[in-house]
Structures are given as C-alpha cells and as structure tokens.
C-alpha cells in the first residue's frame, strides 16, 4: 500500500489518544464558562494524574516560589492554560513511546524535544512573547509526528531514517520519498485531533517552515530556532544528526544577535538537565531503584 497523509487521516482512530481525563480537561479549558472548581474536580478524579501534576509543578525545574500542595491551588495560582500545559507535559512522554533500537531511540527523541522545549521557553522570554509555557509545550510536542509514524508505520519510519543517512539528505526529503508526507504534517494532525489550541498546532506544523505560519508566526519562529539550537548543542537526538538552515526571517523576528547566544545556550543546557530530570526522571529513578533492589 502506498502511504499518504490521507491514509493516515483515514486511520485517525489508530492515532494515540490522550487519557480521557486529559481530554476532558482540554474541553473544559477551551470553554470560557468553566469554573476553577469544575476543573480541579475533574483532575482530582484521577489520582495518578493528580500526583504527576503536583510532582512536576514542585520540581526544581518549574521552581515556583512556594510549594503547591493541592490541585485547587495549582488551578487558582497557575491558571487554566498553565495547568493544561503541565498535564500535557506530564502525560505525553509515557503516551508516545516505542521500542528502543540501534536505528531510533524514542528516549533520545524525547531528550531532543525537552531541549527544544526549554530553548523555546527561553527564546519566548528573550523575544518578550506573552506565553512562555505555550512555547515550552510547542517545543516539547514539535516532533510528536515522528513518534506517531514510528508507532503506526515502524518499518517505513526506519526506512526514512536510513534513506536520509544513506543519501545524506535532510530527513524531510527522505520522509517525502518513503512516506509521501512529513512528520510536521502528522504533528498538526495529532494536535488538532487532541483539540489543542490552533496556535500550538500551527507552531508545530510550521517548525521547519516558520514563514508559512498564518496566525502563529512568532511561536513557529521560536520552535524553529530552538530546534536548531538543540541540534547544534547535541542535546538528545531528533533521529538524524544534521543541523538544518535557520530561516533568516525567523532569526530577525526574534531579534537574535551573536552577543546573546552564549548566555542563551548556557542557560538552555542548565535548564535542559533540570527539565529532563523533572519530565523523564520518574522513569529513570524507578529503573535505578529496581537495579539497587536487585543488587
């Protein structure tokens, strides 16, 4: 069967779905009539999600000045959008996983995505964007399309990677040859399916071509440059190891210059370690404890 984006769309039911509680949270956050109590009650129904939210919100990476000990506090102090973004952050890594192989490592892709998220947050701050958390989540989700393709069409995904390596072409060129579509298109499909905000979806869809963005041009520029920084600094791996060219318009839009790059990159490396600990740390600690108990 020849693949196309249409075949993937027809298989929309096979795309990974968010936990029901999180779907409900997204619906409630999208509805302006929702109250803080309603939102908190839905989250509290799920003990595991509640625990994850509180652990993440109190991790050194988020570093809120005081400890947040209840969901109601989180909703009222941080706001609806921040809580939704934290819940997506806490859930998505477990949801989109796959077999670790010599050719492709989902863990290394998540490390790359966490570095891009941290970079996007810093670039949003640098360019005085209003919503840094949204930039963080857009960075975290920018490559989810790769994991979806790996889950739904694993053989074709690995062939895209090997084609990029063998022919020394950018991954997007190899994807078009093998799959007939690219991971940024799949990212848009998935985030729209999940009913995440349109600007977030567009930033993800346009992270390789930020000048094509219609409504979220700055957000797309932030994720585009953060992805390039993350690759240049070798933080995690996007599956291929080359650094793509940065759009000059995106570079100018963010007001970047050579004299700020060193401090931005040092901060990105430091925050990356903390964010990796906060987001991937739970799984790693569980493994370390299992090893210690076995010894």
Partner 1 sequence: MARMAVEKLTAGMQLRKAVFNMNGVLLLREGERLTAKHVTVLKTWGVHEVDICQEEGAAEATSTVSPAILRQIEQETGRRFRHAALASTPHMGMIARAAGRRLAARLQAQEPAESPAKREAR
Query: Site residues (CB under 8 A) for partner 1?
Result: 55, 58-60, 108, 168, 170, 228-229, 231-234, 237, 241-246, 248, 251, 256-258, 261-262, 265-266, 269-270, 273, 276-278, 281-282, 284-285, 287-289, 292
Q: Which residue's CB is nearer to partner 1, number 59 or number 72?
A: 59
> What's the closest the beta carbon of residue 196 comes to partner 1, in angstroms?
26
> What's the closest the beta carbon of residue 234 comes to partner 1, in angstroms?
5
> What's the closest the beta carbon of residue 256 comes to partner 1, in angstroms?
7
> What's the closest the beta carbon of residue 51 comes to partner 1, in angstroms?
10
Q: Which residue's CB is nearer to partner 1, number 154 or number 170?
A: 170
Provide the Cα torsion 249, 250, 255, 261; round to 10°: -120
Tokens representing 175 are: 């994807």
Burial class (CB in 10 A: 0-12, 13-18, 19+), 156: middle
> What's the closest the beta carbon of residue 236 comes to partner 1, in angstroms?
9
60 within 8 A of 278, measured Cβ to Cβ: yes
Tokens representing 216 are: 């979220």
Helices (H), 239-257: 248-253
Q: Which residue's CB is nearer to partner 1, number 9 or number 234?
A: 234
> What's the closest the beta carbon of residue 163 comes to partner 1, in angstroms?
15
Alpha carbon distance 15, 194 (integer Å): 10
- Tokens 């793509």, residue located: 244
Q: Which of 10, 89, 28, 27 is nearest to 55 (CA)?
A: 89
Q: Which of 214, 206, 170 is nearest to 188 (CA)?
A: 206
Q: Which residue's CB is nearer to partner 1, number 31 or number 242?
A: 242
Q: Which residue's CB is nearer to partner 1, number 90 or number 137?
A: 90
Q: Which residue's CB is nearer to partner 1, number 163 or number 237?
A: 237
End-to-end CA gap in the chain: 49
Alpha carbon distance 288, 216 (integer Å): 41
> What's the closest the beta carbon of residue 24 comes to partner 1, in angstroms?
27
CA 215 and chain centroid, separation:
19
Q: Which residue's CB is nearer to partner 1, number 154 or number 244?
A: 244
């Amino acid at each position: 069967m020849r693949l196309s984006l249409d075949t993937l769309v027809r298989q929309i039911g096979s795309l990974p779905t968010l936990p029901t509680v999180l779907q409900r949270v997204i619906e409630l956050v999208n509805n302006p009539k929702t109250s803080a109590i309603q939102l908190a009650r839905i989250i509290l129904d799920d003990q595991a999600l509640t625990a994850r939210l509180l652990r993440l919100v109190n991790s050194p990476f988020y570093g809120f000045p005081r400890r947040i000990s209840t969901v109601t506090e989180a909703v009222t102090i941080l706001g609806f959008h921040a809580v939704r973004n934290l819940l997506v952050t806490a859930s998505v890594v477990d949801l989109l996983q796959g077999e670790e192989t010599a050719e492709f490592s989902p863990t290394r892709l998540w490390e790359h995505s966490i570095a891009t998220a941290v970079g996007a947050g810093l670039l949003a701050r640098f360019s005085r964007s209003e919503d840094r958390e949204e930039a963080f989540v857009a960075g975290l989700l920018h490559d989810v399309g790769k994991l979806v393709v790996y889950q739904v069409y694993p053989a074709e995904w690995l062939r895209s990677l090997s084609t990029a390596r063998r022919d020394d072409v950018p991954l997007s060129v190899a994807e078009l040859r093998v799959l007939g579509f690219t991971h940024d298109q799949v990212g848009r499909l998935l985030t729209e399916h999940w009913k995440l905000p349109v600007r977030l979806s567009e930033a993800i869809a346009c992270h390789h071509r930020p000048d094509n963005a219609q409504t979220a041009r700055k957000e797309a520029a932030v994720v585009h440059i953060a992805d390039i920084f993350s690759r240049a600094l070798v933080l995690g791996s996007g599956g291929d190891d080359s650094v793509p060219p940065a759009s000059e318009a995106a570079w100018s839009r963010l007001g970047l210059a050579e004299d700020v790059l060193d401090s931005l990159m040092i901060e990105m490396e430091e925050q990356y370690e903390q964010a990796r600990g906060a987001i991937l740390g739970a799984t790693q600690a569980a493994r370390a404890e299992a090893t210690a108990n076995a010894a």
